[in-house]
Amino acid sequence: MADTASTTVSKQQRAFYRKLYLSYLISQQAHSLTSLQQLTGMPRRTIQDCLKDLGDIGVQCSFIQQEGGRHNAGHYQLDDWGPIRPAWVAQHLTEIEQLLAG
């Protein structure tokens, strides 16, 4: 990855990195929409759109409904990274976070 301080990212690149970042977070522990929002500072709608579009990059994610819970009570689970190498994402996590913050 290039030096993030001097890198300008396009809207499409930012969307791609957002998907990688959310996938990584979900793969590390169970997250709800609310916990992802609190952890990332991203707007709720942005997170929803990213999760809905993970299939665009080959990542499979599902929502696990909490048994006996109210509507939408549960957590996300990463089912398959598809063509993405999770080790690469983990290795570049700080750079991805910096790109998304900028």
Q: What mean pLDDT comes out for the span 41-59?
A: 96
* pLDDT above 90: residue 8: no
Q: What mean pLDDT comes out for the span 83-98?
A: 96
Grade residue 1 by pLDDT with cuts at 50, 70 and 90: low
Cα–Cα distance measured from residue 10 to residue 102, given in angstroms and rounded to the nearest whole number? 12
* pLDDT above 90: residue 68: no
Residue 63's DSSP bridge partners are 76
Q: Give me the domains of the chain, ranges plus CATH numbers.
A: 11-101 (1.10.10.10)
| Number of CB atoms found within 10 A of residue 24's CB | 19
